[in-house]
Structure 1
Amino acid sequence: MENSREDLFSCLPDEILGSIVSFLPNESALQTSLLSTRWRDLWNKALVRYGTIQDIIAHVSGILDHFDELDPLKHPHRLRFHFGDGNVLLAAIASSKKLLLDFSNGKKQLQRQQHGMQLKLNNENLTYQPFSSNFLVKSLYLKSVSFLTNDVVSSIVSNLQHLENLTIIECSGLESLCIEFQSKLVKLNIRDCLQLKSLHLRTSKLKSFRYRGMLPWIWPENHFNLVDALLDFRLGPCYINFIAEDFNTTLLTIKNSEILTLCEWNFKALIWPTISSIYGNFIFYNLKDLLWIGNYKDGRYSSDSLVSFLKLCPALEQLCVTIDRESYCCQNLNPCLDQVTKYEGLEHLKLIKFMGFTSKEDEISMAKDLIQLVKGKLPRIETSDGACLQCLCREESQRSMETENHLSIESKPFCEFLTEENGVDGSCAKHAHMEV
């Protein structure tokens, strides 16, 4: 019976299948591509066109202009545009108002040529409006934009009045980037643009900033408070002479974050030198979910920097610690916040999750250090292999070294841990950045 049903669907013409899809919400309609190759082919149909680089805007405008929300399969959602000598643009639109512009199939030597890019939207002075209102782009994904195409991309972006989410990935040769959106842009994601040295942000409403790559010079010109900040600078700074003062404006934008990814070396080299003289007044009051990227030094991992940072995070609920042996490492920097008078312990911590550790002894050693910061009920502790560590003893009498406003880390109470098997109930949610 199943085979006959499959055959019936396979025999239906595109128009009827498109009509069926038109009765579904966009997200549900897109899921029909998982039913069979027959449905998948409908969504993957692509226009193939040829022209010059100047024709890109008109052709991208065309697939947006012909979008029909009531009949989403009436026209192809994908464009394969050949321009110049062997360069290709793959453009696609998807549900939830997403537009993808992918130039990665172009010539690699052109993509690596150094260039700068300025993405600017001025709602009061739109010089050119190529797009109709049939498809309002709210999320834009730019991949492998080169010096050859950055002017065209800038022209397209300058007219996306409803853009809220911008992703820029794998732009080889991109050295400077200026993003000027005074309107609706709330999410910015930049990944693997490894030559980027300068990032100028003129965005007053940005709430989410996710960056993976070498640390560039970041200039947030307008004040904004990030709720979600991923700062994965494990490759190190792009300048040899990068100093803590260069990071100060970025530090202010992440101070009120609720979700944060941070590398150990960022804290040791860029944050600690700034706050060491004012540590009593600088607290990450709102931070609830932290992903800490640590590194090995001289064949071992020290928890000193993490312990010091956690003293600045009184509201923390979930802590994930991952180890990257290749992560950039600072030498001769050992921050210590034992003098912090406002620290009263972690009262809300529910989960400690270790990732990337190759030694159970290292995990247990760090767990012993971290639980000394906990005030009240101990958190769940998950190891890199998915098991759990259960603390066997921590009586109130063993915490006698805790003073009214300060907990000594040098005088730790004795603790033993029991490793539980995998699959124990009650596991907390993953860190929001773990899948990024």
Structure 2
Amino acid sequence: MVEERPDLISNLPEEILQLIISMIPFKEAIQKIMVSTAWRSLMNPFQENLEFDLIQSTNLESREKIMKSIGSFLKSCQNSPQTLKLYLQSTLGNNDQLFGICAKGSHGEFHLDFSLQKEQVPCNFDLILEPECSSFSSIRRLYLRSVSHFAGSLVVDLFAGCQFLETLKLEKCIGLQNIDIRSHSHLKNLVIVDCPNIISVTISAPNLESFSYQGVLTSIRLNYIQHLVDFTLNLKDGLGHNSFDCEDVISLVTSLKDVENLTISGWFIELLCSAGVIFERLGFQFDKLKELCIIDPKISRKMRDSFACFLNITPFLEKLFVEVDEKSRPVECPFIHQHWHEPHLWMDYATVKCNASQLKYLKFIKLIGFKSESEQILLMDLLLHKAVNLKQMILTSSENDSWMVARIPQSQLKYYSKRRYTIISCPNTDVFIVLIEAKDVTYKSKAYMQY
């Protein structure tokens, strides 16, 4: 028999527990109270319960009642420095059940979490979000988790009252297929994470500055957005069940031409090349792009060559991050027959490397999560060739070991005779790539700086 360990933390005095919860980030604190009933009374001195018929929640009268109760809750804690919460108690069937939790932070932060909902078969639904009035004017940041088709109507009503909303996050909304955010002039930050059934995202928010999407390949349309600075398209879950529409994708890439920071899946760039997209013929360059992050489950030759073609339209890039993410789903990009393709699809690497334009402003490169030497060589030789004014390249393994990287002629290897290093030879050249353990780098020798 394994002796059960006592819960020492939960048995602490309430004053100490409240101090602990006050030091935890708001999002994590919400997750704690969702899991443990012992912690639910700690975030505020009181709580309210709102009971309603979950099945009838789409009824206009029921929705108005719920929104009125949420409005009263927000008003009651508007000037409170503490985090307050409202429990949603549904009357689905014969048994009451805790349906969700609303939590209001002290800086206009509002969480609506439906993780507690017990739904056997998720149904597909859409969200059309459009601000209409400012009844919830105190809400600046809205976080929605596990929204279902039952709760969708509540979210639409809530969003309609958030005219001054600046940040919106949707997370783990199973069944959500289409999101349409219309004419929201105050929205600046949008995050969509792990919504596996998503088909399309349409955004009309003229002042949007940051958009982050993580999940399966989906159709994204950005309408009348002129101030976008940061964009993330992390397609870690692969193609999903959605079809690839090349025209939609080109339209999306075109709408990103003025971003300064871009994170994108490497296989997505490869898919564009396979579909016949020639980056240098798109009619524009990423002239404002300063920082680029590429995420991929593996680095293949085809992905490297596609990446090389993409870099040709990023002339002012300053920082580059390439991450091998083993948690992402591997994707084999199909070759789509076209009369034209990027040249690398039928040329050898030497030709691709020769046609690669130089990145004169690229000063910093970091390679993250690389395991095999073959993956390292694939990218490092290309990047050291393109980044003619590079100041620093760092290689970090999946075990978080770090090395400084240099490309050294054979005649200069003697500078490293007393230091721990790894030598990787470049095929068909007299140049070697030297990996020096970061803890051994105490100075910058001439040999090290010679890229």
With the length of structure 2 as denominator, give the TM-score of the two structures: 0.72
Q: Does residue 1:72 correspond to 2:81, yes or no? A: yes
**Residue 224 (structure 1) shift:** 3.0
The CA deviation string for residues 378-412 of structure 1, in whole angstroms up to 9 with x for no partner, is: 432223233113315269xxxxxxxxxxxxxx998
> In the aligned structure 2, how far is the partner of 1:413 from the partner of 1:286?
35
- 2:172–2:195 CA contact under 8 A, matched in 1: yes
> Cα gap change, 1:29/1:223 in structure 2, threshold over 3 Å: closer, same or farther?
closer
Match of 1:60 among 70, 80, 105: 70
- 1:304–1:336 CA contact under 8 A, matched in 2: no
Match of 1:419 among 426, 435, 439: 435
Q: Does residue 1:81 correspond to 2:88, yes or no? A: yes
> In the aligned structure 1, how far is the partner of 2:181 from the partner of 2:103?
23
**Residue 330 (structure 1) shift:** 0.7
- 1:27–1:95 CA contact under 8 A, matched in 2: no
Count of aligned pairs = 377
RMSD (Å) for aligned C-alpha atoms: 3.9
**Residue 100 (structure 1) shift:** 0.5
The CA deviation string for residues 133-175 of structure 1, in whole angstroms up to 9 with x for no partner, is: 6xx1111001111111111111111011210111011110111
The CA deviation string for residues 203-247 of structure 1, in whole angstroms up to 9 with x for no partner, is: 222121100111222232324352100001233334554221121
The CA deviation string for residues 174-196 of structure 1, in whole angstroms up to 9 with x for no partner, is: 11111113311111111111101
Q: Does residue 1:102 correspond to 2:102, yes or no? A: no
Counterpart mapping for 1:148-297 below 5 A: 148-238=150-240, 241-270=243-272, 273=275, 275-276=277-278, 279=281, 281-296=283-298
> Cα gap change, 1:275/1:335 in structure 2, threshold over 3 Å: closer, same or farther?
closer
> Cα gap change, 1:329/1:382 in structure 2, threshold over 3 Å: closer, same or farther?
same
> Cα gap change, 1:302/1:215 in structure 2, threshold over 3 Å: closer, same or farther?
closer
- 1:301–1:362 CA contact under 8 A, matched in 2: no
> In the aligned structure 2, how far is the partner of 1:49 from the partner of 1:28?
24
> Cα gap change, 1:274/1:165 in structure 2, threshold over 3 Å: closer, same or farther?
farther
> In the aligned structure 2, how far is the partner of 1:180 from the partner of 1:280?
28
- 2:274–2:334 CA contact under 8 A, matched in 1: no
- 2:88–2:101 CA contact under 8 A, matched in 1: yes
> In the aligned structure 1, how far is the partner of 2:408 from the partner of 2:15?
68
**Residue 295 (structure 1) shift:** 4.3
> Cα gap change, 1:279/1:296 in structure 2, threshold over 3 Å: closer, same or farther?
same
Where structure 2 has 5 or more consecutive residues not aligned to the other structure, the ranges are 1-12, 30-38, 345-350, 411-425, 443-451
Where structure 1 has 5 or more consecutive residues not aligned to the other structure, the ranges are 1-9, 19-25, 34-38, 396-409, 427-436
> Cα gap change, 1:335/1:321 in structure 2, threshold over 3 Å: closer, same or farther?
farther
Aligned to 2:308: 307
> In the aligned structure 1, how far is the partner of 2:282 from the partner of 2:406?
31
Aligned to 1:92: 103
Aligned to 2:405: 390
> In the aligned structure 1, how far is the partner of 2:375 from the partner of 2:25?
49
Query: Partner of 1:148: helix, strand, or coil?
Result: helix
Aligned to 2:126: 116
Partner letter of residue 209 of structure 1? F
Partner letter of residue 81 of structure 2? P
Partner letter of residue 370 of structure 2? F
The CA deviation string for residues 30-86 of structure 1, in whole angstroms up to 9 with x for no partner, is: 8xx9xxxxx9965355514141143432332233101253x524xx61122211323
Partner letter of residue 239 of structure 2? P
The CA deviation string for residues 361-382 of structure 1, in whole angstroms up to 9 with x for no partner, is: 4213421121110122443222
With the length of structure 1 as denominator, give the TM-score of the two structures: 0.74
